[in-house]
Chains A and B, each alone.
Chain A
Amino acid sequence: MGGGQWPRPGEISLGHHGVLFLDEFPEFGHTTLESLRQPIEDRTITVSRAHGSVTFPASFMMVAAMNPCPCGYYGDPFKECKCSSGEISRYHKRISGPLLDRIDIFVDVPHIDYEKLTEEKPGESSDKVRARVKAAHEIQLGRFQETKLNCNADMTPKEVKEFCMVEPAAQSLLRAAMKQLHLTGRAFHRILKLSRTIADLEHSDIIKTHHMAEALQYRHKEII
């Protein structure tokens, strides 16, 4: 977070405009994780110490990785999980709801079998993916030219309203999802921002139903 007698920038400020990767997410200290909440929203962090208080920029993209349970095999089709349900729920409780609410994309990375691992067919290279990401970035830069923003994740509700045009069918899908999944106001905005990015990747001006559906399926689902 930054600190010291004279406030200095910490990891999240050094990750400004970059990536903050937190491996083994639940193993981080409770206070560390909870104090990420404010900088994720504000994109800055204020460090107050006896000698003074300094605001550092902290516009980072958070990438976290975790196991589904302490032994790591909960939900695995081949290996049995040895954890009790209490242990698993304790493990998940280490990451609080408000923090989870701030994460846009939840993705399962399952075990891969021998056939897949030894497959000769090479996967898509980073260069190709980067070209698509870059194109999407350029669309965003053009969109935010008049504002101080850099990317879709930086949008505030005001900009979400301005830039996220949703087609009617997608709107009704979002309405139904909001009701059924009891999503929060913040989740609502985050889903819109995420679907905006998915639409950008397809160079689409309005958010269509399949963009919205993909954004929705990345939301957090209770594991137990």
Chain B
Amino acid sequence: MEVEVDLSPGLPSFTIVGLPDKAVQEARERVRSAIRNSYYKFPNRRITVNLAPADLKKEGPAYDLPIAIGILMSSGQLNADLTHSIFLGELSLDGKLRHTHGVLPMVALARDKGLSTVFVPCDDAEEASLIDNIHIFPAESLAQLVTHLQGEVDIPEYHSELNWEQEFRPSYASDLSYVKGQEHAKRALEIAAAGRHNILMCGPPGSGKTMLARSLPSILPLLTIHSHHCRAPFSLPSLYYFPCWLGGRGAMAKAR
């Protein structure tokens, strides 16, 4: 994905092309307000933003920040070499950066494409830091980012304190000991969990089938970065678009 910005003489307008969806179209309003409220000048010219490749549909608000940076660069308010950088983030009207979905897969792709630096909203820095071999800079706002790029303020590089191996105790909804009797069903569940085999439980209503199934997560070992990383490179969190994974859904993601 590349964001191209062009300013040309003509009636002031702001167009985004490249199959943007509604959220991307609305970036126009957010970018305009964010630039003004960060005390930069929004150019009164004909602005064309192209999201390349043009035949792929673009979704979501992650393009706000690159569009704003592009406008500031092409209007001469920002001079910096950004050839090896990638910008991600949704802008609020006052120029602050908001959490964006899908940071992890995008950062992973950026690294694979050989880019060295990524600028993300502060909220997403932890998520992005799961990818190694790439420099991550968490930005609070558009103004802070621009001053950093011009060398006036220095944003420290983000280093994760997240420790995957640390003891993690999720709270489970149900425990096997809550189910009375049914010892053979518990044994079958244990075997199924150990080898990840498919299992079918059959019995009259109210005998505890659903409760047994609810207890299953509590006997599964925790997911490790190993199973995410080495065997299926990030397929699991990328699928979830990482919805506040390290915060609210921590238990779900680590405890299956």
Interface residues of A (CB under 8 A from B): 6, 9, 13-14, 16-19, 21, 23, 25, 40, 51, 56-57, 59, 61-68, 72-73, 76, 79, 100, 102-112, 116-117, 119, 122-126, 129-130, 132-134, 136-137, 140, 148, 150-154, 190, 193-194, 196-198, 200-201, 214, 218, 220, 223
Within 8 Å CB of B204, what residues of A?
A: 67-68, 72-73, 76, 79, 110-111
B180 touches A112 (CB 8 A): yes
B185 touches A119 (CB 8 A): no
Known: A63-B216, A65-B210. A19 touches B202 (CB 8 A): no
B195 touches A197 (CB 8 A): yes
B197 touches A105 (CB 8 A): yes
Name B256's closest neighbour in chain A (CB-CB).
A18
B200 touches A107 (CB 8 A): yes
* In the bound complex, CA of A25 to CA of B218 (Å): 22
* In the bound complex, CA of A218 to CA of B227 (Å): 29
Within 8 Å CB of A122, what residues of B?
A: 177
Q: Number of B residues whose C-beta is below 8 Å from A?
A: 55
B225 CB → nearest A CB, Å: 12
Within 8 Å CB of A152, what residues of B?
A: 194-197
* In the bound complex, CA of A205 to CA of B236 (Å): 31
Known: A64-B200, A66-B201. A126 touches B219 (CB 8 A): yes
Interface residues of B (CB under 8 A from A): 57, 172, 175-186, 188-210, 212-213, 215-221, 223, 227, 231-232, 235-236, 239-240, 256
A218 touches B205 (CB 8 A): no
A187 CB → nearest B CB, Å: 12
Name B207's closest neighbour in chain A (CB-CB).
A109
Contacts A103-B200, A112-B208 known; 18 new A-B pairs at CB < 8 A: A16-B235, A17-B227, A62-B198, A65-B202, A66-B200, A66-B202, A67-B204, A105-B200, A109-B202, A109-B208, A109-B212, A110-B207, A119-B181, A126-B177, A129-B193, A130-B220, A152-B196, A153-B198
A104 touches B198 (CB 8 A): yes
Within 8 Å CB of B176, what residues of A?
A: 123-126, 129
Name A147's closest neighbour in chain B (CB-CB).
B231
Known: A106-B202, A137-B221. A65 touches B194 (CB 8 A): no
Name A64's closest neighbour in chain B (CB-CB).
B200
Within 8 Å CB of B186, what residues of A?
A: 123-124, 129
From A16, A117, A134, contact of B236 by CB (8 A): A16
Known: A148-B231, A193-B195, A197-B195. A124 touches B207 (CB 8 A): no
A25 touches B203 (CB 8 A): no
